[in-house]
Amino acid sequence: MGIALQSTSARSIAYPAYAPALAPDLTSHSNADADALFSLEQLEVSFEESTGTLWSFMRPLGRPSYNPSLLQDFHAWQRGIRAMFAEHPNDLNYLVLGSRVPRVFNLGGDLDLFVEKIHQRDRKGLVDYSNSCVRILHRNMNLGLPCITIGLAQGDALGGGFESLLSFNVIVAERGAKFGFPENIFGLFPGMGAYSLVSRRLGAAKAEQMILSGKIFTAEEMHEMGLVHILAEPGQGIAEVCNYIERNHRRKNGARAVYQAGQAVNPLSLKELEDIVEIWADACLALGERDVKAMQRLVAAQNRLRQPKLRAVS
């Protein structure tokens, strides 16, 4: 079952500075049925049959955040994975998610959407967006397939980007990548899994400290805390994932069992995540205009920072 799947988009995005970090060349593998399962606009997906690895990379249009269309791609991605391996679940050994955006894994929630919904006093819109996020996160932890999930951070993972990364069994991060929850800058908190995930790994006190401080941590600091499992040199993230898969080949059954045991010891229910979303939505609507303007300034700063590195081509 060899497959090479590419995103289908109205326009392509060139990342010339990122060319050395491309995934393994899997173009010799093809499968029309699988291609139909992964008709995605902002996700690039390919299957490496020799190792049983499904490689996936985000290619967001515009600011590298979880825009609603990217969320829909993730829902389709998860449905496709379940459908593709339903009859042969043991064919999938590893599920890898990274990003094609130079030096960015993901910058988090769609702040432009948050501002719009706050100004409209649209609580339902905020809840619907956030529930979509936490359902993807929860499903990532409960795919029902005997695979090891690997989050690959070759760049910054902030806010919701960091939350989503924490839902993977193994996190590989390149030195120089930054992690943290900056929501406190504009009077919010990360409401899509941060408290639940960090507290289960480091304890409630440490989770609150990280969230309330708004501090940005390096990959090296995250590794010392135990939230990042494997450090890679800049530009070597994919190679390090390949090394892990090769080293882990004979032990993958035991490793999968350990991660399953961890979920049994510290289960995370979808209801817990959705209950926190309700708290987060109320906090959004309690923000003052000064906080909302701070949110807009952060978006503008991120857009300026990334604009030179993203260019559309026909």
Angstrom CA distances, 257 to 145, 150, 230, 252, 262, stand at 12, 15, 20, 9, 9
Q: Which residues contact 87 (CB under 8 A, 6 or more apart)?
A: none
Alpha helices in 121-203 (DSSP H): 123-141, 160-165, 194-202
Q: Name, of 36-45, 95-104, 304-313, the range with top average pLDDT.
A: 95-104
Whether residue 4 is predicted with pLDDT greater than 70 in this model: the reply is no
Length of the chain: 314
Q: Provide the domain count of the chain.
A: 1
At residue 28, the pLDDT reads 33
Q: Can you tell me the distance from the alpha carbon of 171 to that of 150, in angstroms, rounded to the nearest whole number?
A: 6
At residue 36, the pLDDT reads 52
Whether residue 53 is predicted with pLDDT greater than 60 in this model: the reply is yes
At residue 305, the pLDDT reads 63
- Percentage of the chain modeled with pLDDT above 90: 81
Q: Residues 150-194: pLDDT tens digits?
A: 999 999 999 999 999 999 999 999 999 999 999 999 999 999 999
Q: Which residues contact 259 (CB under 8 A, 6 or more apart)?
A: 148, 169
Say which CATH number the domain at 176 has. Answer: 3.90.226.10
At residue 304, the pLDDT reads 74
Q: Residues 195-212: pLDDT tens digits?
A: 999 999 999 999 999 999
Q: Residues 121-140: pLDDT tens digits?
A: 999 999 999 999 999 999 99
| Domain coverage including residue 241 | 3-313
Q: Which DSSP helix (H) or strand (E) runs through 42?
A: none
pLDDT bin (cut points 50, 70, 90) of residue 25 is: very low
| Sole residue written with tokens 């391996």 | 85
pLDDT bin (cut points 50, 70, 90) of residue 299 is: confident
pTM beyond cutoff 0.85: yes
At residue 306, the pLDDT reads 58
The type of residue at 85 is: F
Report whether 54 contacts 294 (CB < 8 A).
no
Whether residue 37 is predicted with pLDDT greater than 90 in this model: the reply is no
Whether residue 240 is predicted with pLDDT greater than 70 in this model: the reply is yes
Q: Can you tell me the distance from the alpha carbon of 294 to that of 188, in angstroms, rounded to the nearest whole number?
A: 11
